[in-house]
Amino acid sequence: MKTIPAQPFSFPFDPQTTGLVIIDMQRDFVGPGGFGASLGNDVERLQAIIPTVQRLLDGFRKAGLSVIHTRECHKPDLSDLPPAKRHRGNPALRIGDAGPMGRILIAGEPGAEIIPELQPVEGEFVIDKPGKGAFYATDFGEILKAENLQHLVFAGVTTEVCVQTTMREANDRGYDCLLATDATESYFPEFKQAAVAMICAQGGIVGWTTETDRILEAISD
């Protein structure tokens, strides 16, 4: 076992059972004119972490470790989109509506695709998830078992919603979770700050938190 300096204490991990999970770095959330922007959010906050997520992804690739990408999206017929999700709030565009990058958060549409800077390569997994967490209605759990993963490093957006939800789901299933704090972001800085604090509170009730450089140093040895 090796360790990574982290909060609330060092993160113990075995490189052979460690993988990177990049959550929802999609054009509709990160790009200008996408769903996130249509809700009135400042997507530049999310765009700012792209180089850091790239460095983290490159480090895992060079180390030969597993990489899993997720995309939040729905079937074209919206059969997996509950009304409680589609009709929440009063956005200018709703999921399934036509937007600047195709239908909002619909599988196969340009806006639902992962941004070019983080495009998956052969051998990496891509999970299309209809919910906020990556386990719901997907084969994420089966992939983790097939890849013999136990230690999961998380990056992506948004910290307090899809990232934290998936970390909590993973924690409940017995996985050890580490959040790369500079490779995740929220439209609301105070939400990110609170989410990071909640994750490592009470002795790591959900998981651990640390910076990308510490992760890269540990996996490159």
The pLDDT tens digits for 53-82 are 999 999 999 999 999 999 999 999 999 999
In degrees, rounded to 5, the angle at the alpha carbon of residue 161 between the alpha carbons of residues 65 and 49 is 55
Q: Is the pLDDT of residue 28 over 90?
A: yes
Q: Pick the catalytic residue from 28, 73, 128, 129.
A: 129
Distance, CA of 151 to CA of 167 (rounded, Å) = 11
Active site (annotated) includes residue 129: yes
Q: Pick the catalytic residue from 128, 132, 162, 200.
A: 162
In eight-state DSSP terms, residue 162 is I
Give the pLDDT confidence of 198-218 residue by residue, as tens digits: 999 999 999 999 999 999 999
Give the pLDDT confidence of 104-151 residue by residue, as tens digits: 999 999 999 999 999 999 999 999 999 999 999 999 999 999 999 999
Active site (annotated) includes residue 200: no
71 contacts 112 by C-beta, under 8 angstroms? yes
Active site (annotated) includes residue 24: yes
